[in-house]
Amino acid sequence: MSLPIRNLAIIAHVDHGKTTLVDALLQQSGIFREGEEVPTCVMDSNDIERERGITILSKNTAVRYKDTLINIVDTPGHADFGGEVERVLGMVDGCVLIVDANEGPMPQTRFVLKKALEKGLRPIVVVNKIDRPNVHPDKAVDKVFDLFVELGADDDQCDFTTLYASGLSGFAKNNIEDENVDMQPLFEAILHHVPPPAGDPEKPLQLQVTTLDYSEYLGRIVIGRIHNGKIEAGQQAALMKEDGSVVKARITKLLGFEGLQRVELEEATAGYIVAVAGFADANIGETITCPNEPQPLPLIKVDEPTLRMTFSVNNSPFAGLEGKFVTSRQIRDRLDKELQTNVALRVEDGESADQFIVSGRGELHLGILIENMRREGFEFQVSQPQVIYREVNGQPYEPFEYLVLDVPEEAQGSCIERLGQRKAEMQDMQSGDNGRTQLEFIIPARGLIGFRGDFIRMTKGAGIMNHSFHEYRPLVGDLETRYNGVLISFEEGVSTFYAMKNAEDRGVFFIHPGTKVYKGMIIGECNRAQDVEINVCKTKQLTNHRSATGDELVQLQAPVEMTLERALEYIGPDELLEVTPESIRLRKLNSKKLAKR
Tens-digit pLDDT string for the chain (597 aa): 457 888 888 887 766 677 788 878 877 766 544 444 444 444 434 454 344 444 434 467 888 888 888 888 877 644 444 455 667 777 888 888 988 888 888 766 777 788 888 888 899 999 988 888 878 888 889 989 998 898 888 888 888 899 998 888 888 888 888 888 888 888 899 999 989 888 888 888 889 888 777 777 787 788 888 998 888 888 898 888 888 888 888 999 898 887 767 888 888 888 888 889 888 888 778 889 988 888 888 877 666 788 899 999 999 999 989 989 999 999 999 998 888 777 778 899 988 889 999 998 777 778 888 988 999 999 999 998 888 898 888 889 998 988 888 888 888 899 999 898 888 999 988 887 677 888 889 999 888 887 877 788 888 878 878 777 788 899 988 777 677 889 999 889 999 988 898 888 899 999 999 999 999 999 999 988 889 999 999 887 766 555 544 444 567 888 888 888 888 888 888 899 999 999 999 999 875 444 333
Q: In 80-211, which ranges are continuous DSSP H helix? A: 82-88, 107-118, 137-150, 155-158, 184-193
**DSSP-derived secondary structure letter, 325:** B
Q: Is residue 198 part of a domain?
A: no
Q: 3-state SS string over 443-492?
A: EEHHHHCCHHHHHHHHHCCCCEEEEEEEEEEECCCCCCCCCCCEEEECCC
Which candidate, 307, 315, 309, places its Cα nearest to that of 578?
315
Residue 230 and residue 269 in contact, taking contact as beta carbons nearer than 8 Å: yes
Q: Tell me, what's the pLDDT at 36?
A: 42
Please indicate, yes or no, whether residues 359 and 396 belong to a single structural domain of this protein. no
Cβ neighbourhood burial of 337 (10 Å; 0-12, 13-18, 19+) = exposed
Does 308 fall in a domain? yes
CATH number at residue 21: 3.40.50.300
Q: Are 515 and 465 in the same domain?
A: no
For residue 527, being part of any structural domain is answered with: yes
Q: By residue range, what is the domain housing residue 596? A: 303-384+481-597
Q: How far apart are CA 589 and CA 585, in angstroms?
A: 12
- CATH number of domain containing 541: 3.30.70.870
Residue 124 CA to residue 128 CA, distance in Å, equals 12
Residue 432 lies in a domain: yes
CATH of the domain at 452: 3.30.70.240
Query: Are both 179 and 251 inside the same structural domain?
Result: no
Please indicate, yes or no, whether residues 59 and 170 belong to a single structural domain of this protein. yes
- Residue 274: CATH number of its domain: 2.40.30.10
If asked whether residues 262 and 326 sit together in one domain, one would say no
Of 193, 215, 246, the position where a domain reaches its end is 193
* Count of domains forming the chain: 4
Would 157 be classed as within a structural domain?
Answer: yes
Instruction: Give the residue from 136, 159, 193 where a domain finishes.
Output: 193
CA-based R_g, the chain, Å: 27
d(CA 179, CA 185): 11
Residue 228 domain flag: yes
Residues 49 and 181 in one domain: yes
Q: Is residue 296 part of a domain?
A: no
Domain membership flag for residue 466: yes
Query: Do 243 and 329 fall within a single domain?
Result: no
Q: How far apart are CA 88 and CA 84, in angstroms?
A: 7
Q: Which of 260, 289, 318 is the last residue of a domain?
A: 289
Contact 345, 80 (CB under 8 A): no
**Which candidate, 570, 556, 305, places its Cα nearest to that of 453?**
570
Question: What is the pTM (predicted TM-score) of this model?
Answer: 0.71
Is residue 250 located within the same domain as residue 339? Answer: no
**Nearest CA-CA partner of 469 in 412, 418, 415, 398:** 398
Using an 8 Å Cβ cutoff, are 99 and 128 in contact? yes
Q: What is the rounded CA–CA span in Å between residue 484 and residue 507?
A: 10
Tell whether 49 and 68 lie within a shared domain: yes
Give the annotated binding-site residues. 15-20, 128-131
The annotated binding site for GTP is made up of: 15-20, 128-131
Residues 6 or more apart whose CB falls under 8 angstroms from that of 27 comprise: 38, 170
Considering the domain architecture, whether residues 404 and 450 belong to the same structural domain is answered as: yes
| Spatial separation of the C-alpha atoms in residues 97 and 99, rounded to whole Å | 7
* Whether residues 68 and 177 fall in one domain: yes
Q: What is the pLDDT of residue 554?
A: 67
- Are both 146 and 170 inside the same structural domain? yes
